[in-house]
């Protein structure tokens, strides 16, 4: 069955120097993801 998946990144999964920054960007990533899904659904015919 065809599907579309949207992914959002909140950190670099250990790719950054120093501690994981998930707490810094989690809210921003989730808000951006929700905005993309809303815009996609709105654009559907």
Percent of the chain topping pLDDT 70: 84
pTM: 0.68
The contacts of residue 24 (CB under 8 Å, 6+ apart) are 11
Give a yes or no: residue 13 inside a domain.
Answer: no
pLDDT of residue 12 exceeding 80, the answer is no
Phi and psi at residue 13, to the nearest 5°: 50, 50
Average pLDDT over residues 20-31: 81
Give a yes or no: residue 7 inside a domain. no
Tell me the C-alpha distance between 10 and 19, whole Å: 13
Task: For residue 26, tell me if it sits in a domain.
Answer: yes
Number of domains in the chain: 1
Domain contains 16: no
Give the residue numbers spanning the domain of 26. Answer: 21-45
* Residue 4, domain member (yes or no): no
Q: Which pair of structure tokens corresponds to residue 27?
A: 């809210």
């Amino acid at each position: 069955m065809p599907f579309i998946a949207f992914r959002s990144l909140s950190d670099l999964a250990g790719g950054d120097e120093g501690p994981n920054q998930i707490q810094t960007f989690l809210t921003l990533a989730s808000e951006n993801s929700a905005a993309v899904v809303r815009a996609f659904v709105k654009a559907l015919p």
